[in-house]
Structure 1
Amino acid sequence: MTDTSWQTRAKEMWNENADFWHSNSQDMWDHGSRKSIIPFVLNHFKSGSKVLDLGCGDGYGSYKLWSEGFDVTGVDLSEEMVSLCKSRLTNGMSRMEFLQGDMLNLPFNTDSFDGLMAINAMEWAEVPVDAILEIKRVIKPGGHLCIGVLGPTAMPRVNSYNRLYGRDVIMNTMMPWEFQKLAEENDLTIINQEYVYKRGVDLKHVGSLPQDLKQSLTFMTLFMLKKK
């Protein structure tokens, strides 16, 4: 019998799209929608700390964290992505490793990491609160979590479109404001937010807007949280 579970279908999709993602990843992190993430992390994570990069993709974001002196473990659901990650490793490269794993059942002990980075990973959980509780489990008390959630203007949200036809999808519809509420209800304190906008948004027009309206225009909202 074919396994049609949410997680299995998500794994299959990312295995199929690993090469495409890899062809764009470095540019996204260096010049595109993800270029502000590492500076955001550096403002909050303690230098040299042990960080989990959840949904690490092809590992380029993990590599950038490692280059800044962090001890990094990258985890992705897709075996093809993890294979791309491991191709980055060279002889003598310590303090960075990659594992295939499910964010709903992480292969780590409780309180294993000082910090976590999860960019556009929560969107791929069928029940987001389950993912939040699991990542909170593996982070030490007082640890920081940098979580990026796609905003309303993000094209990747097309992956949830077929729900309108009653078809199965593998991407939830959680908005940044919903993630914020969910995090706060589950003992994660939000200490900062940063907003990533699509090209064409004039920042001088959004600077004075309240938080909820800023979120409503975003391609992605970056949250910095602290585990109580």
Structure 2
Amino acid sequence: MEVKPQIREWWDNAEHDYDAIAAHGVHSEAEKKLWTEAITQLLGTGQKLKILDMGTGTGFLALLLAELGYDVTGADWAKSKLEKAKKKMEIAGSSVNFVVEDAENLSFEAEQFDAVVSRHLIWTLANPASAFKEWARVTKPGGKVLTDIPARHSHPGNHHFGGEIGKELPFYNGADPGELISMFEAAGLVNVSVKVFDKMMLVEGEKE
């Protein structure tokens, strides 16, 4: 079953108010603090690092990265979400390069970014292993990859896309730490670690 066109159509809906959904929009200073600490601990501060925010959606993480002083590209395949991200960028007075990209098949040349980060994306992918390989490919040697993922069975079995599509997605109902570590390592990433926060996990790895 080819599910990617259906998933893309679901996300690329201009009437879909992504930020209004509690689990999507960031309405918590605690989550903002979590991501700020994770990013600065992983990437450091004081350097104009080039970062790709994959699955940027309406731009929360990309705009936070820009606020922290990084050179940010925010990528998503839903044009309607990127339009909202651009409006938020204008209001914030920040600068992010927002572009249309497929997480599993990037158009960027190899070794372009110091880091690839992603929030609330992996569970929606038909082929997360391919995505991880692509993210590793566009990361410079010594660079980092950071993503989040719900823990296994922390989601209902039919949220958003429904069960028929969901059964085609490897991480639709979350993931186990061991699965993520294996996929990151298969993508060529080393020093892989998983941090668990309630029902969410942060996974990080380094490009050799």
TM-score after normalising by structure 2: 0.83
1:8 is aligned to 5
Whether contact under 8 Å (1:115, 1:144) holds in the other structure is yes
Amino acid corresponding to residue 128 of structure 2 in structure 1: P
* Structure with higher helix content: 1
Structure 1 gaps of 5+ residues are 198-218
Residue aligned with 2:17, SS: helix
Whether contact under 8 Å (1:18, 1:58) holds in the other structure is no
2:17 is aligned to 20
Whether contact under 8 Å (1:160, 1:172) holds in the other structure is no
1:188 aligns with 2:168: no
Structure 2 gaps of 5+ residues are none
TM alignment of 1:114-193, pairs within 5 A? 114-155=114-155, 158-159=158-159, 163=163, 167-169=164-166, 171-173=169-171, 175=175, 176-193=177-194
Whether contact under 8 Å (1:79, 1:100) holds in the other structure is yes
Structure 1 Cα separation of the partners of residues 116 and 51 of structure 2 = 5
Counterparts in 2 of 1:156 and 1:116: CA distance versus 1, 3 Å: farther
The alpha-carbon deviation at position 104 of structure 1 amounts to: 1.6
Query: Deviation string for 1:50-106 (max 9, x for gaps)?
Result: 100001111011111110011111011211111111112339956511112111221
- Superposition RMSD on alpha carbons, in Å? 2.7
1:44 is aligned to 42
Aligned length: 199
Residue aligned with 1:69, SS: coil
Structure 2 Cα separation of the partners of residues 136 and 153 of structure 1 = 27
Whether contact under 8 Å (1:160, 1:171) holds in the other structure is no
TM-score after normalising by structure 1: 0.76
Structure 2 Cα separation of the partners of residues 18 and 57 of structure 1 = 14
Counterparts in 2 of 1:136 and 1:41: CA distance versus 1, 3 Å: same
Whether contact under 8 Å (2:75, 2:100) holds in the other structure is yes
The alpha-carbon deviation at position 147 of structure 1 amounts to: 1.2
Amino acid corresponding to residue 188 of structure 1 in structure 2: L
Amino acid corresponding to residue 30 of structure 2 in structure 1: H
Q: Percent identity?
A: 21
The structure with more radius of gyration: 1
Structure 2 Cα separation of the partners of residues 151 and 91 of structure 1 = 34
Query: Deviation string for 1:188-226 (max 9, x for gaps)?
Result: 1235432221xxxxxxxxxxxxxxxxxxxxx11101210
